[in-house]
């Protein structure tokens, strides 16, 4: 089984820590990791990260985290950067941004940064839009772990149980990512699946959120970014030259 962690928060400024985090991911059994990058990052740094991942047998996925304040800002960001990254996620800070992100086909992942019910916008309308556009709901497990450390888990579990239920009923793919910035926040994929037991998620659903769903997002985008891609279902097979 190929386990994927689409959200490993590396900072190459602290290269040692970044290398430790990548090595820990490989040790815990992941085969593909997604790293959020700044749009202004130098290609040499990306190549260096890719090289470290290659050495450890990890597939490196470039990811862009957009945190727009308005839907206009989101559209501008997507227009500018979509084709430079393999995965694009949107941190939904308002309902307008969440709705725009859910209906835009260029958005891969919808993220909510807080467990405050007023800041999580995955209701049935949002799920319906996300289902039609193919956007997935991403859940950062580091956020869950630190949330449990800070306060009682009752609110967190209730919220997540409801959200995952809505996502499931509308066939919105769910992705579990680590969201870890330190090695001690990383867990084995099977441990994340076990943790999902707390929000009434079956083991098969949890494993899909760590394997099949993220793999599908990356493969779909890699196809779209390849040179022979024209439109959904259309790609260049052979070019003929006119004499």
16 touching other proteins, by CB under 8 A? no
Binding residue for other proteins, selected from 4, 9, 28, 174, defined by CB under 8 A: 28
CB nearer to other proteins: give 157 or 170: 157
185 touching other proteins, by CB under 8 A? yes
In the stretch 127-156, what mask flags binding to other proteins with x, by CB under 8 A? ------------------xx-xx---x---
H-only helix segments in 3-65: 15-27, 43-55
Alpha-carbon distance of 200 to 188, in angstroms, equals: 19
* DSSP letter for each residue of 145-188: HHHHHHS-SHHHHHHHHHHHHHHHHTT--EEEE--BSSGGG---
CB nearer to other proteins: give 68 or 189: 189
DSSP state of 120: -
Asked whether the beta carbons of 90 and 61 are under 8 A apart, the reply is no
Q: Closest separation between CB of residue 53 and other proteins, Å?
A: 21
Binding residue for other proteins, selected from 1, 51, 76, 194, defined by CB under 8 A: 194
17 touching other proteins, by CB under 8 A? no
Binding residue for other proteins, selected from 64, 66, 167, 186, defined by CB under 8 A: 186
Footprint of other proteins on 195-234 (CB under 8 A): 195, 197-198
Rounded to 10°, the helix 43-55/15-27 angle is 40
Bin 151: left if φ > 0, else alpha if -120 < ψ < 50, else beta.
beta
159 touching other proteins, by CB under 8 A? no
Asked whether the beta carbons of 173 and 216 are under 8 A apart, the reply is yes
CB nearer to other proteins: give 102 or 145: 145
Using CB under 8 A, list all residues that contact other proteins.
28, 145-146, 148-149, 153, 182-188, 190-192, 194-195, 197-198
């Amino acid at each position: 089984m190929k386990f994927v962690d689409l959200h490993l928060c590396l900072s190459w400024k602290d290269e040692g820590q970044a290398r430790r985090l990548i090595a820990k991911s490989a040790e815990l059994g992941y085969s593909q990791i997604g790293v959020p990058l700044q749009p202004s990052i130098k290609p040499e740094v990306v190549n260096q990260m890719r090289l470290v991942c290659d050495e450890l047998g990890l597939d490196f996925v470039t990811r862009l985290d957009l945190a727009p304040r308005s839907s206009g800002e989101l559209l501008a960001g997507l227009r500018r950067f979509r084709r430079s990254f393999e995965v694009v996620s949107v941190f939904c800070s308002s309902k307008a941004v969440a709705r725009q992100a859910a209906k835009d086909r260029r958005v891969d992942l919808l993220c909510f940064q807080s467990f405050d019910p007023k800041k999580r916008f995955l209701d049935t309308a949002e799920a319906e839009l996300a289902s039609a556009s193919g956007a997935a709901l991403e859940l950062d497990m580091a956020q869950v772990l630190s949330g449990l450390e800070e306060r009682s888990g009752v609110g967190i579990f209730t919220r997540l149980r409801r959200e995952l239920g809505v996502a499931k009923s509308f066939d919105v793919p769910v992705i579990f990512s680590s969201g870890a910035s330190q090695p001690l926040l990383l867990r084995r994929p099977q441990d994340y699946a076990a943790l999902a037991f707390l929000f009434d998620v079956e083991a098969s659903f949890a494993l899909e959120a760590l394997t099949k769903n993220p793999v599908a997002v990356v493969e779909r985008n890699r196809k779209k970014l390849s040179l022979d891609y024209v439109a959904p279902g259309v790609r260049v097979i052979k070019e003929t030259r006119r004499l």
